[in-house]
Structure 1
Amino acid sequence: MNSLWLRGILVACLACALPMKASVAAPTSPADPEKVLRYVFVAPETGFDPAITRDLYSALVVQSVFETLFTYDYLARPAKLIPLTAEALPEVSADGKTYTIRLKKGIYFADDPAFNGKKRELTMADYVYSYKRLFDPRLASPHSWLLEGKVVGLDEVAEQARKTNHFDYDAKVAGFELLDRYTLRIHLKQSDFNLGMILAHEPTSAIAREVVDKYHDAQGQVMANPVGTGPYKLTNWVRGARMTLTANPDFRGSVWDFQPSSDPGDQEIVAKLKGKRMPQIGRIEISVMVEDQSRLLAFEGDEVDITELMGPLAPQAMIGGKLKPEFVKRGVQLSRIVDPEISYYYWNMKDPVLGGLSKEKIALRRAIAMAHNVQEEIKVVWNDEAIALQYPIPPGIVGYDPDYKSSLQFDPAAANALLDKFGYKIGSDGWRTLPDGKPLQVRYSARADSNGQQQSEMWKKTYDLIHIKMVGDLKTFPDLLKAEKECQLQSRTAPWIADYPDGDNFMQLFYGPNIGQNNNGCSKIPEYDVLYAETQKLPAGPERDLLYHKMARILEVYAPARIGYARYRNMIAQPRVIGYKKHPILHTEWMYFDIDKTK
């Protein structure tokens, strides 16, 4: 690896979520330009418009440049909501239908030509504008589901925009009541006790209307010119290769003041960081390295400060869930969590071969689901760096049920019998045909890297067990996401990491109206959709959990998808990194730790 090349790398994002006490010092960033963090993306970014971005890697930059009203405590486990640009947590009415939020005064957007040389203060009108952007039909945001059907009057304005293909940003939305420049009262159509967490998710970040007006493309998107109020600015971007984030010199800063959780390592973090003005790191250099081995070599060559040990890499540096002695001796640090994610397998419900709700199509998908050995995939593809899941909600998320057992289990004999029963006959060539006698072939798509190749080979083995011909389809990560959103992929293993720590964020993945957003398998099952709509009226608790159980069984009956596993996230850091701890919800944490520049 060329260290000079790596040091010119992109610069990683997320520092956005400033969960600390507001500083009384001058509103200039405390970041030291001589403190440089070198970071790695395992897949290419797609762009940096909060309303559009839906991949994890771009989100790292978005969270560094832009700010939401709320964020999460750096150390608290389970994840704890705290204010970011808001003065305090929202005031919520007893019925969960009215939220009053007050904004901190004196927060400014980073200097940019869009503001014509004037300092531009953040106001609540910027948040209202940003929320409206999620519903602009020209943008086709994948995040409109966050507020869809919730805010009084918003859906009606969006419906008018769909008719005219023009969104009137000046149209009054009754549900967004601006009491003054710094106070917003949100009126909801029904109770929603998760809105605070939704307003901590990066698609709800504030973007200035002037920035959109100056830099938007033909679709109204601003993917290449992110300008926000956050601690960093994107100062260099070579698409798919490297990015650089530089500390925003006018960022207000804050004081590190988190309390330790039950994790014994937290006391040491608090001792090193308590009272420091943040951010401390002046520049973040990010490089895109798709191949596993390249990332590990770069880390071992001291060209990268923090990287992820995905399943294929873990055995080279870890044993029994801990770092090998040679890494410990060097002072390398490990932060290891089970990601709040589900990696699930879906079959496109709009596909003419796999989709549909007829009995033979259901039988086909159920048979494929039963023919796949999840435990073997975890062992072969992920080197046991994952845990099998039975339920659509993973550990660490509100609504998770550790005792739930799926009716879809590995049983290739039953899978073959099911296919026989519904007319998928085995021809003279050894492959099954469709019930009408036409050839049956399935296309499995995965990322064009070594990991994707392994997944494809594992699924080829699965399809061979039930005599179905499979072809592999390897694509770049951005191409996968684009095709998936347009319902063009036939089948894929799709990972979903929590946007916010509630089961709703996972059950919405299979909700019919979310096709084109997060419903990757493009499934529309009426019984499921009715129950999901009912859950939106309920707070977390036994009544909602009962509905979630019914929804999980519906998924197993119709088999638009099968739940697979949650992976361990093993993050390793060089000795010079001070106070790093992987957060289960925040995508990045460099806003909350430090670098020893003398090392």
Structure 2
Amino acid sequence: MHRKTSNSVKFKKILIAPVLAFAALAGSASAYANTNPADPSKVIRTAFEAADDGFDMVKTQNFYSGWVSEVIFETLLTYDYLARPAKIIPETAEAMPEISEDGKTYTFHIKKGIYFSPDPAFKGVRRELTAEDYIYTLKRVLDPKNRSPSANFLNGKIVGLDELAAQAQKTGHFDYQTPIAGLQAPDRYTLKVVLNAKDYNFLNVVAYSAFGAVAHEAIDAYGQQTAQHPVGTGPYMLDKYVPRSKIVLVANPEYRGFTWDFKPSGDAIDKQIIKDMQGKRMPQVGRVEISIIEENQSRWLAFQGKQIDFDKIPELAALSVLDGDKLKPEYAEQGIQLQRIVEAGITYTVLNMKDPVIGGYTNDKIALRRAIAMVYNNKEEATLLRNGQAVKLESIIAPGVGGYDPAYRSSIDYNPALANKLLDHFGYKRGADGYRTMPDGKPLLLKSTSNQGGINTEISELWKRGLDLIGIRTQFVVSNFADNLKAATSCELMMWGAAWNADYPEAENFMQLLYGPNSGRGNHGCYQSPAFDALYVKAMSLPLGDERNKIYLEMNRQMEADTAWVLNTGRIRSWLVRPWVKGFKKHPILHSDWQYVDVEKH
């Protein structure tokens, strides 16, 4: 193993490769409305700790792709910037939808005068957003050729959509022109969605970033290159793109703008934010420059050198920056703002249930996975590796999400001694070298995959220490996040350290990661438990509240019984913001802040 050291860190220079530029748009922008109030001289510089996977959100669930796509594409509904807990509000819809008495029909009225960003695909014609664009967008998610990891959000929900997808599966062609009863456009600006059954999460689904409107002309024009040529109605559009290195966004001249007018949530920070931002025409920022800097040390040095305007404190720097939950004087004196939040997300290790070594549902395979889980010290990860910037995770559901129970305790805890006894009992014998074999005498070798950067090297070392205690030989493989995500989506990785941030503030968003029919999509370990799946279906039939939450607790226990995951930590994020950035408040669901903030001259 290669040990990462921090005593002689050098800033990693970002190599600028030939870029995909969209300069052709600049010359035609003057033919458009130029309604966007953004100031080109106001620039936000920030960094991602891992690479995106392009910006066609029908084809990816990459967190960083979604971060950027939130400001390129617009959903019918979104979230209030200040409200906590998260509150759904209209985005392109004029108001919240009209819902029929049986809860199955949703009618959205789309704002008039919303236009897509200028693009050659429209041949010089201004292209207005219509209800048909949302019908096309929703259909794309179930088009079999797209193999969308977000299909689970719509499977079985909309009248006629699954049948249309099934027909496409047979013929090899998805007919977008075929009308279905579940997606109707009575007029240019009205969208009617008819569900097969009442769905208590449907408003959350509508606000999910994968359902931001796209135009069929742009998809037709760019085909397989759509991920590098996103065209939406949001406040920004892609200007330059160096895959895995640099992303530059500029103001979409067709964006209509909005007036900053959010109500305080009761958080202490809201008063100052409102004072700084109330009544401004938004967005103010005209350009967003995002660098991909995977190494924590390099990203931290970039912030210290004022090369990026806000970022999370890397765990390695926490003790030198924080005094408890406050900044040390040398940072506070710079006017830096600190915002600490427990992330609405979880980190965990996927165990591949299809893998010939650790997969399967027989007692010996469950015992092997259970022993593996029992030697991962997630308390040590939280306190030592993350310098106290995390909490030991007890359940699948993230803190702050509907259905989370702070009193719940996992039935699997760190216990190497018991893990050894478990392996002995099921015939995983130690050889002369101290390492165990399979019950049939064949070699036992785990293959654990991690992402580049961050504290992943240290986490791999923590895993190795634990697995050595029970005599399991392990090969550690490091690759970039985007490639790992693709492999995991196909259930090709034996073990993979993953993270999931809430797409919407309800436990179902986490439970669907283990739902059997989502195998090959978000279910990265291909976990298929009839008991878990039956509980999932039962939970979905219940309204939000205590009865549904009790089912979620049973689902947690079922996952533990099968040991499909190893739970790691819930991260505490300490955001540092330079004093010239005004209006910043980290949202639990939305990730792109750029359209809500301002930048003063500095």
TM class by shorter chain equals over 0.9
Is 1:449 paired with 2:444? Answer: no
Deviation at 1:93, TM superposition (A): 2.6
Secondary structure in 1 matching 2:595: coil
**Aligned CA distance change for structure 1 residues 494 and 450 (closer, same or farther; 3 Å):** closer
Shift of 1:27: 6.7
Q: Which residue of 2 aligns with 1:492?
A: 496
* Residues 238 and 248, structure 2, Cα contact 8 Å, conserved in 1: yes
Q: Which position in structure 1 is the counterpart of 2:538?
A: 534
TM-score with structure 2 length normalisation? 0.94
What TM-score, normalized to structure 1? 0.94
Deviations 1:96-150 (A, max 9, x none): 2221111101100011111111111000100110011011111111110111111
Q: Deviations over 1:71-110 (max 9, x none)?
A: 1111100000000000111222333222111110110001
Q: State how far apart, in whole Å, the 2-side matches of 1:469 and 1:357 are.
A: 22
SS at match of 2:227: coil
Structure 2 match to 1:162? 169
Letter in 2 for 1:481: L
**Alignment pair present for 1:116 and 2:123:** yes
In structure 2, what is the Cα distance between the partners aligned to 1:87 and 1:449? 43
Equivalent in 507, 511, 520 of residue 511 of structure 2: 507
Could you say what secondary structure the match of 2:70 adopts? helix
Amino acid at match of 2:266: S
Select which of 462, 470, 474 maps to 1:470: 474
2:40 match: 33
* Equivalence map 1:290-369=2 (5 Å): 290-369=294-373
For the 8 Å contact 2:78–2:88, the answer to whether it is kept is yes
Closer/same/farther in 2, CA of residues 481 and 384 from structure 1, 3 Å limit:
same
Deviations 1:331-351 (A, max 9, x none): 111122111011112210000
The reply on whether 1:419 has 2:419 as its aligned counterpart is: no
Q: Distance in 1 between matches of 2:538 and 2:101?
A: 19
Is structure 2 residue 487 aligned with structure 1 residue 483? yes
Distance, in Å, in 2 between the alignment partners of 1:462 and 1:374 is 11
Is there any run of 5+ residues in structure 2 with no aligned partner, and where? Answer: 1-10, 22-32
Report what 1:43 is aligned to: 50
Residues 212-270 of structure 1: CA distance to partner in whole angstroms, max 9, x if unpaired? Answer: 010012xxx61110110011110111111111100112210000000111111101100
Q: Is 1:402 equivalent to 2:406 in the alignment?
A: yes
The offset of 1:2, in angstroms, is 9.5
Amino acid at match of 2:427: G
Q: Secondary structure at the match of 1:437?
A: coil
Q: Which moved more, 1:437-446 or 1:46-55?
A: 46-55
Letter in 2 for 1:314: A
Q: Does 1:584 align with 2:588?
A: yes
Aligned pairs for 1:375-394 (under 5 A) are 375-394=379-398
Q: Is 1:73 matched with 2:77?
A: no
> The residue matched to 2:298 in structure 1 has which SS?
helix
Which of 564, 571, 574 pairs up with 1:567?
571
State how far apart, in whole Å, the 2-side matches of 1:312 and 1:358 are. 41
2:65 paired with 1:61: no
Q: Does residue 65 of structure 2 align to residue 97 of structure 1? A: no
Calculate percent identity across the aligned residue pairs.
Answer: 49
**What residue number does 1:14 align with?**
none
Shift of residue 384 of structure 1?
A: 1.4
Letter in 2 for 1:194: N
Give the Cα–Cα distance (whole angstroms) in 1 for the partners of residues 329 and 182 of structure 2.
58
* Aligned equivalents of 1:250, 1:557: Cα separation in 2: 53
CA contact (8 A) 1:45 1:240 kept: yes
1:498 and 1:307 map into 2 onto residues whose CA distance is: 20
**In 2: Cα distance, 1:571 partner to 1:228 partner:** 29
Match of 1:177 in 2: 184
Tell me how far apart the structure 2 counterparts of residues 95 and 587 of structure 1 sit (CA, whole Å): 34
**Kept after mapping to 1: 8 A contact 2:15/2:245:** no
Does the 8 A contact of 1:191 with 1:538 survive in 2?
A: no
Residues 451-484 of structure 1, C-alpha deviation per residue, up to 9 Å, x if partnerless? 2211111111111111111110101111111111
Aligned twin of 1:200: 207
Looking at structure 1, the residues matched to 441 and 156 of structure 2 have their Cα atoms a distance apart, in angstroms, of 45
Matches of 1:9 and 1:307 in 2, distance apart? 25
Q: Does 1:88 align with 2:95?
A: yes
Structure 1 residue runs of 4+, over 4 Å off?
1-6, 8-11
Indicate how the Cα distance of structure 1 residues 242 and 506 shifts in structure 2: closer, same or farther if over 3 A, else same: same
- 1:285 Cα shift? 0.8
Mark the CA change 1:397 to 1:450 in structure 2 (over 3 Å): closer, same or farther: closer
Q: Does the CA-based 8 Å contact 2:283-2:595 persist in structure 1?
A: yes
What is the DSSP-based 3-state SS (H/G/I as helix, E as strand, rest coil) of the residue aligned with 2:144?
A: coil
Contact kept? 1:314, 1:383, Cα under 8 Å: yes
The CA deviation at 1:53 is 2.7
Deviation digits for residues 49-86 of structure 1 (CA, Å, limit 9, x no counterpart)? 12113111111221111111111111100000000000
Greater mean deviation of Cα atoms: 563-572 or 133-142 = 563-572
Partner of 2:5: none
The reply to whether residue 223 of structure 1 matches residue 227 of structure 2 is yes
Separation in structure 2 between the aligned mates of residue 525 and residue 170 of structure 1, nearest angstrom: 37
8 A contact 2:46–2:311 mirrored in 1? yes
**Residue number in structure 1 paired with 2:551:** 547
Match of 2:468, SS state, is helix
| Partner amino acid, structure 1, of 2:131 | M
Superposition deviation, residue 310 in structure 1 = 3.0
Work out whether residues 240 and 247 of structure 2, in 8 Å CA contact, stay in contact via their aligned partners in 1: yes
Equivalent in 239, 249, 252 of residue 248 of structure 1: 252
Match of residue 145, structure 1, among 127, 145, 152 = 152
Instruction: Report the AA paired with residue 98 of structure 1.
Output: T
* CA displacement 1:499-539 (0-9 Å, x = unmatched): 00011100101001111111111111111111111222221
Number of aligned positions between the proteins? 580
RMSD between aligned residues: 1.8
Q: For 2:20 and 2:414, locate their aligned partners in 1 and report how far apart those are by CA, in whole Å.
A: 43
Distance 1:421 1:544 in 2: 38
TM-superposition CA deviations, 1:1-60 (whole Å, max 9, x none):
699989x9999xxxxxxxxxxxxxx87011011101101011111101121131111112
- Per-residue displacement from partner, 1:363-390 (whole Å, max 9, x unpaired)? 1111111122110122232111111121
**Residue type matched to 2:100 in 1?**
S
- Does the C-alpha gap of structure 1 residues 477 and 10 become closer, same or farther in structure 2, counting only changes over 3 Å? farther
Does the 8 A contact of 1:9 with 1:244 survive in 2? no
Q: Which residue of 1 aligns with 2:24?
A: none
For 1:99, give the aligned amino acid. Answer: Y
- Using the TM superposition, name which of 290-299 and 270-279 deviates more: 290-299
Q: 1:271 aligns with which of 263, 268, 275?
A: 275
The answer to whether the 8 Å contact 1:9/1:285 transfers is no
2:451 and 2:497 in contact (8 A); partners too: no
What letter matches 1:123 in structure 2? T
The one-letter code of the counterpart of 2:43 is: V
Q: 1:279 to 1:3 in 2, by over 3 A?
A: farther
- Are 1:10 and 1:245, in contact at CA under 8 Å, matched by a contact in 2? no
